[in-house]
Structure 1
Amino acid sequence: MSSGPKLGNSPGANNASLVPGGVLGDGRYRLLAQSGADDRGAAQLWRARDGQLNRDVALTILVGDLSDIQAVARARRTTERAMHASSFTHPGVSRVIDVLTPGSGLRMEEGVLGVVVAEWTQGTDLMDLITEGPLPAGAATRLLEPLGAAIEGAHHAGLVLGADHPQRIRVTPDGRLRLAFPGARPEAIARDDVKGLGAILYLLLTGKWALPGGPSGVPVAPTGPDGAVLAPSTLQPYVPHELSSVAVRSLEDTSVGGIRTSAAILQVLDQIAEEEAQTALIAPISDDDDGDRAVWTTQKPLSGRGHRRKLMVSVALLAVATIAVIAWLGFQIVGFFSDEPTHNTGPTVVIGQSTSPGQSQAPTAPVPAGPIAPGAVGVYDVTNNPDNANRANRAVDSNPDTAWNTDSYFQPFPTLKPGIGLMASFAEPVKLASVTITSKSAGTVVEIRIAAAEDSPIDETKVIATATLSAGQTQIQLNDHDATQHVLVWITKLAGSGKDNQSEIGELVFTRAQ
Structure 2
Amino acid sequence: MPSSAGPSIDTITEGGRVTQVGEGQDADESAPPVMTFGAPTAGEILAERYELVEHINNDSAGRLVWRGVDVVLRRPVAVVLRYPGGDSATEMLQAAVAASRVIHPNLVGVYDAIDEGERAYVVREWVDGQSLRETVTEDPLDPARATAIGAAVASALAAVHATGMVHGNVHPGTVMISDDGRVVLADARTDGDDSQESDVRAVGGILYFALTGHWPHTEAPLRGATAGHGRAAIPDGVRDANGVLAAPRQVRAGVPAYLDDLTMDLLDAEIAPPSSDVLAAELARLDVPADEHFLDNTGPLRFAAETGEEPSPLAAAGGRKVAVGIAGLLAVALVGLLIGISVLGGGDDKDPQTNPVAAPTSSAPAGDAAEPAAVGPIKISRAQIIDPEGDRTEVKNADKVFDGDENEGWETQTYRRAANFGNLKKGMGIWIDLGAERNVKSVQVILSAQGASAQIFSGTKEYPSTRAGDAQLVADYQKRPVGPAFEEHDGTTMTFPGFDAEQKYRYLLFWITELPASDGGYKLGVQEIKVQGS
> TM-score, normalised to structure 1's length?
0.45
> TM-score, normalised to structure 2's length?
0.44
* The structure with more radius of gyration: 1
